[in-house]
Amino acid sequence: MTKTNQRLILLSIPLLAASNQLQADSDHEQHDAHVHGEAQMLIALDGTSLELEFKSPAMNIVGFEHQPKSEKQVNAVKAAMETLKQPNQIFTLSSDAQCNPVSIEVESPLAKHDGHDHDHEHDDGHKHDDDHKHHDDHKHDDDHKHEAESHSDFTAHYSFRCEQPAKLTKIEFDLFKRFPGTEQLEVQSISKKGQQKIDLTAGNNTLEL
Ligand SMILES: [Zn+2]
């Protein structure tokens, strides 16, 4: 395990604690199953260390939550992963704070298709899927019911070091533009100024710290 990983685990603890406490205080229901259109961002600023943890239903990001079936869907997942790996596509930090990325991790069960032996086992399955592609594209309701049993997420963890953390006064979220399926971003943050929780939208996309 690298130093960076250890640090991320340690920093996840205050993030989770903050999340639990904030959720206990909130009347906003938060069940295990996610809500399409809603995404979450946990933010912790501790000294010069800034951590952001993003979690979103895959529906908001690529428009489906099953394993990618067609080449188009495989490419959509790849493109989304690439976008999420570029923090400046997702949010903008106060430039005066001089924050630089230390580590970025993006994950989704839908991206597990990349390479590996897995692909070869399902040659027959792929043919079968292709037969149904047309069908699926036109039956959104059926799709939705089916997916209720197997929701999928994209998660991203961004770790920054900020040279001037006191100057980090706002974070503007550009992800609404990148992923228009995102209607609401539930932001929970902890910084020197305490904890706050705010729901942001495309029209109100800035967190004041
Ligand atoms: Zn879902």
pLDDT tens-place string over residues 126-179: 444 444 444 444 444 444 444 445 799 999 999 999 999 999 999 999 999 999
The whole-number pLDDT of residue 88 equals 96
Residue 40 C-alpha from the chain's centroid: 7
The whole-number pLDDT of residue 9 equals 52
Q: How far is the CA of 59 from the centre of ligand 1 (A)?
A: 6
Q: How far is the CA of 149 from the centre of ligand 1 (A)?
A: 8
The whole-number pLDDT of residue 10 equals 52
pTM, 2 dp: 0.72
The whole-number pLDDT of residue 31 equals 45
Q: How far is the CA of 30 from the centre of ligand 1 (A)?
A: 14
Q: How far is the CA of 58 from the centre of ligand 1 (A)?
A: 7
Q: What is the pLDDT of residues 3-55, one digit of tens each?
A: 444 555 555 555 655 555 544 444 444 446 799 999 999 999 999 999 999 99
Bridge partners (DSSP) of residue 50 are 45, 160
Span 182-191, average pLDDT: 97
Q: How far is the CA of 38 from the centre of ligand 1 (A)?
A: 10
Q: How far is the CA of 175 from the centre of ligand 1 (A)?
A: 18
Confidence of residue 193 (pLDDT cuts 50, 70, 90): confident
Domain count, the chain: 1
Q: How far is the CA of 184 from the centre of ligand 1 (A)?
A: 15
At which residue do the structure tokens 């961002």 appear?
A: 41
Confidence of residue 208 (pLDDT cuts 50, 70, 90): very high
The dihedral of CA 75, 81, 82, 87: what is its sign? Answer: positive
The enclosing H or E element of 200 equals: strand 194-200
Span 108-117, average pLDDT: 70
User: Whole domain around residue 60: which residue ranges?
Assistant: 3-208
Q: Which residues contact 172 (CB under 8 A, 6 or more apart)?
A: 91, 92, 205, 206, 207
At which residue do the structure tokens 């920093």 appear?
A: 11
The whole-number pLDDT of residue 70 equals 97
Q: What is the pLDDT of residues 74-106, one digit of tens each?
A: 999 999 999 999 999 999 999 999 999 999 999
Q: How far is the CA of 62 from the centre of ligand 1 (A)?
A: 11
